[in-house]
A and B are shown apart, each in its own frame.
Chain A
Amino acid sequence: MKKIIEKHSLAMRWFHWINFPVLFIMIWTGMLIYWANDIYKVTIGKHELFHFFPDGFYSYFNISHRLSEGMALHFLFMWFFTVNGFLYVLYTLISGEWRDLVPQRNSFKEAWLVLLHDLHIRKTAPLQGKYNAAQRIAYTSIIVMGFGSLFTGLAIYKPVQFNWICYLCGGYHFARILHFTLTIGYCLFFLIHIVQVILAGWRNFRSVITGFDVEEVPVITPHIATEDGRAR
């Protein structure tokens, strides 16, 4: 017999799906800004591994010479990003849903087992609540990262008015590096997130839109079994 299982509250779904386009716009407009001084690269010794970003990347996405537009957009959508993030944290605290999300003492050890399981190296996954250990770590990290983006963002945006934030971020120059690194972090999170969503399948994805999942619960019937041996 089918049974509806409530999975994600309406509030959680709203926060998630508001954040999705807003964060996307923040990253996009951040790129329009970054282009004007695109000095970051990954090097080993003197050898340059990767330069953020290659010219082809800029021309393909039409990023060049849009600094003023990028700044205006970034400083508008920062409000939505911040407000949505604060409300989300507030909601998880008030509703108690933070208990499902915050890593527990054994989460860090278990996350490793979850990873091995996901990579099909280990057969069994550790017992879990709503979210597994790896998810707990990921979903809490992303909130810490969001706060980090806000904090380093303020350090870059108003380094004089918020000189104490700028100081805590290791100065203006370093705050910009942190802000950029966090953005790369979101992109990596997004990639893994998408792969996991695809692997988890349609029902899991659907539940983030509808809020519920459907489960088949066994019912004892007077007829013991049908001919093919399966219970009705």
Chain B
Amino acid sequence: MEEPVKNPTAIDQDNAVIDKQIKRRNFIAFTSFIVLQGAAFGSWRWLNNQPVEITTATAGAKKPLRRALNKTELFFRKMFSNNHLVKIYPKETAAKNVRVNGDIGMTGPFNIQDWKLDIVKASGDVLNLTLKDLLVLPKTAIIYDFKCVEGWDQIQHWAGVKFSDLIAHYKLDKQAAMEYVGFATPDKAYYVGVDMPSALHPQTILAYEMNDKPLPLDNGAPLRLIIPVKYGIKNLKRISSITFSNTRPPDYWAEQGYDYYSGL
């Protein structure tokens, strides 16, 4: 035992010094702890009390959250390329009962015989296409895992004309040089905006077939968007018009607080 030999008063003095030290460190640590956790809780409260963003192409989200969504998109956009392809599945794995999740923009009266696709090249310069015009273009099929923002997914089989093929065929290079494409239903009740790189992605198609048969009405007949690099909310059914712009076109779900880009 090599412990120092001390008399009781010296020990009491030592203990007093240590007690003081303990008190001081306890005070500092607990004060910082309470202040920091308080600040964290305060920040959370602050975030939840922030005003909703001013309506632009997006709406309904709290201001800082919209900012965060947009910034995060800019970060992940760096990874986006035409070489990043969605996984393709064998035909027999495709669902026979394709899930129908919404009918926004499809509830009004609609005569499929009168349907035409309006491609607005510039204001007053509209390209009018019928389904026949699209059927003569090369057909692209895709069997992939369709993903809904709600969290479900389903392997589905679609076929139609590649958006980039349509652009090339009708020489819409000037339009494709713009930043965004807008799609809308005939009644304009459902509309989406898509960034041009995603629209021109090699797996983005304007589909007119599902499971090797003409598109059923509920699934968006006669023409719908199938854009595997986006959530289902961007896959507009019953397309009636396509527009191009350098500002973000209005987007139905982005106005309900969802990410404008909703990329996968």
Contacts and interface: CB of A to CB of B under 8 A. Distances in A.
Interface of A: 1-4, 17, 21, 25, 33-34, 36-37, 39, 67-69, 71-73, 75-76, 79, 157-163, 166-167, 171-173, 176, 206, 209-212, 214, 218-223, 232
The 3 closest A-B pairs by CB, nearest first: A37-B151, A68-B257, A210-B29
A21 B36 CA distance: 11
Interface of B: 1, 3-8, 11, 14-15, 18-19, 21-22, 25-26, 29-30, 33, 36-37, 40-41, 44, 60-62, 65-66, 68-69, 72, 76, 79-80, 84-87, 145, 147-153, 228-229, 253, 256-259, 263-264
Contacts of A209: 29-30, 33
B5 A221 contact: yes
A21 B40 contact: yes
A67 B152 contact: no
A222 B37 CA distance: 48
A interface, over-half SS: helix
Query: Which of B3, B15, B60, B264 counts the most A-chain CB atoms under 10 A from its CB?
Result: B264
Contacts of A206: 26
Contacts, number: 135
A232 B11 CA distance: 9
B3 A218 contact: yes
A223 to B, nearest CB: 7
Contacts of B5: 220-222
Given A157-B264, A209-B30, 12 more contacts: A1-B14, A2-B18, A2-B19, A68-B61, A72-B259, A158-B76, A160-B228, A161-B76, A167-B87, A210-B30, A218-B3, A219-B3
A232 B8 CA distance: 8
B87 A219 contact: no
B150 A36 contact: yes
A174 to B, nearest CB: 10
